[in-house]
Amino acid sequence: MNWINVNRITPKPFVSVLCRMPGEKPFPTVHEGYISDDGIWVVYGFKREPGEVTHWTDMPEYPGDEED
């Protein structure tokens, strides 16, 4: 999994990604979110302030239906 700094590049608008939020309390978190077409991050259903999301990465592939 390669984390990308939001200051370097952002994902396409409205595509779900994992968002790193180191300032979350009581501990840093990773949540699913997206960026809107006007550059606002929406994470866990809430609009986020600039700087709250510091990094993002593509969603991982889901496991198949085969049994291991």
Domain range annotation of the chain: 10-43
State the average pLDDT for the chain.
92
Above pLDDT 90, what percent of the chain? 76
Banded pLDDT at 26 (limits 50, 70, 90): confident
Give the pTM.
Answer: 0.85
pLDDT computed for residue 68 by the predictor: 58
For the cut 80, the answer to whether the pLDDT of residue 60 exceeds it is yes
pLDDT band for position 67 (50/70/90)?
low
- Buried (b) or exposed (e) across 22-47, using 16+ Cβ within 10 A? eeeeeeeebbebbbeeeeebbbeeee
